[in-house]
Amino acid sequence: MTRSNPASDARPRGRCACDAWFTGGDCSLLNLEPAASPESAGLQVPGYHSWGGRCTYDGATGKYVGAFSMMVGGCSLNQWQWGSAIVVAEADAPEGPYSLIGEPPSSLAPEGAALPPWAHNAFLSFDPASGRHLLFHIGAEHRLPANKFCNRSDPRRFRPSAWVPANARRQLVQPRQRGGTLDYLSDPIFVSSAPSPRGPWEVPGRRVELSGPADSWVRRVSNPGPFIFPNGTVLLYTSADPCPPGWGRAPTCIALFRAPSWEGPYTLLSTSAPLVRPESEDPFVFRDPRGSFHMLTNVNTFHRRCDAGAACGGHAWSLDGLTWSGQAIGAFGPTVELANGSSFTNAYAERPLVYQDALGAPVALFVGMGRSVYADSISWAWRFAGSRPLAQGASPARALAHKQNERRKAQDAHKWTK
């Protein structure tokens, strides 16, 4: 985002000249291209509900490979707390449409899931320091009652014991006091690693160890959103509660942890107050080609702020990833514009995640989309306006720009190292 110069152009003072991927008077709105059709993007599998994810480019196949949260066993999004698995899918374009790699997951075909139930809030990432692909998520299979499934007439209903050995179901660690620090109870948060975005993924993953002062505002943590620097340092943005008094209409706000690597340990940085106002969840942070940080959130926690059909996505910005502006509300929402000039409005758009090209330009926005109602969910994706992924075999000038961009990021990453 750049401010206009009244001395050099005729635009009104105080207005902004937006990069292609933003729009609005203060460049806070996401500028998204119309979709070809309601079926042309995201992950949409007949008979199954899903709830967001994002992709990476797989140079080995020339495809875009994404990890998504998908409900199994006849479950809708209302049963996400036990019926969600994580699947891997591929597409020819970043926004999709995506096709599952393998069969839809069920108790009869567990190989259809990258991570079995209970695994939710899929967040695909990459660690440049180790070269490992990472899947952050919440959920642990051991929390599933043995008789939990959603559709008794569906032969694909899952049996928890069919997925993970019984000894893996005893790993939940309750919050415990250690001197002046508190180990937080999360949903819990796990991270799995793999040599490729296609897997194979560690099952079960490693539990993310979070700690901080016992007198901080944070008591429960969920929805991890890692930002990983080239040297491996991680800023882990999360949903957390309870918000301090006066921070909004719902109890969930955004917290920040830091770790020397994705393996942890993670220490709370936002000890005295949340990062952004007002209340929100599902943080995703990216850095644009100028080096500025952007945070996207769902400000409609528990649907207390916006009615169905309203744009309730949050957008905040920062120069260092640590100190943030307040959130502009309405940055994105559930209305989809179509290339033929028509549009359709869904109920809710949450779980924002972004795929960027090699230069850091936003290419595709992914959301979990509740269609007619919240529970009638799919994973949707838009292309950002003016975006074109940096292709393999890019021109020498673009390749040089990419190298310079990576060098700059590596040089300033020490500012966030513990």
pLDDT digit string (tens) for 268-289?
A: 999 999 999 999 999 999 999 9
Q: Please, where in the chain does CATH 2.115.10.20 lie?
A: 41-416
- Report how far residue 84's alpha carbon sits from residue 206's, in angstroms, rounded to the nearest whole number: 18
Given a cut of 60, is residue 147 above it in pLDDT?
no
Q: May I ask the CATH class of domain 41-416? A: mainly beta
pLDDT value of residue 305 = 96
Tokens 């940080």 — which residue? 293
pLDDT value of residue 137 = 95
Looking at the DSSP assignment, which residues form a beta bridge with residue 321? none
Q: Between 413 and 35, whose confidence is greater?
A: 35
Q: What is the mean pLDDT of residues 249-254?
A: 96
Given a cut of 90, is residue 102 above it in pLDDT?
no
Q: What is the mean pLDDT of residues 150-165?
A: 44
Given a cut of 80, is residue 111 above it in pLDDT?
no
Secondary structure (3-state) at 379: strand
Task: For strands 185-186 and 22-23, give the pairing.
Answer: unpaired
Confidence of residue 388 (pLDDT cuts 50, 70, 90): low
Closest CA to 69 of 37, 12, 113: 113
Given a cut of 60, is residue 216 above it in pLDDT?
yes
pLDDT value of residue 158 = 41
Neighbouring CB atoms inside 10 A of 401's CB total 16
pLDDT value of residue 106 = 56
- Range 214-223 burial, b when 16+ CB lie within 10 A, else e: eebbbebbbb
Given a cut of 90, is residue 332 above it in pLDDT?
yes
Given a cut of 50, is residue 136 above it in pLDDT?
yes
Whether the Cβ atoms of residue 280 and residue 314 lie closer than 8 Å to each other: yes
Task: For strands 266-268 and 210-213, give the pairing.
Answer: parallel
Q: What is the mean pLDDT of residues 239-266?
A: 95
* pTM attached to this predicted model: 0.85
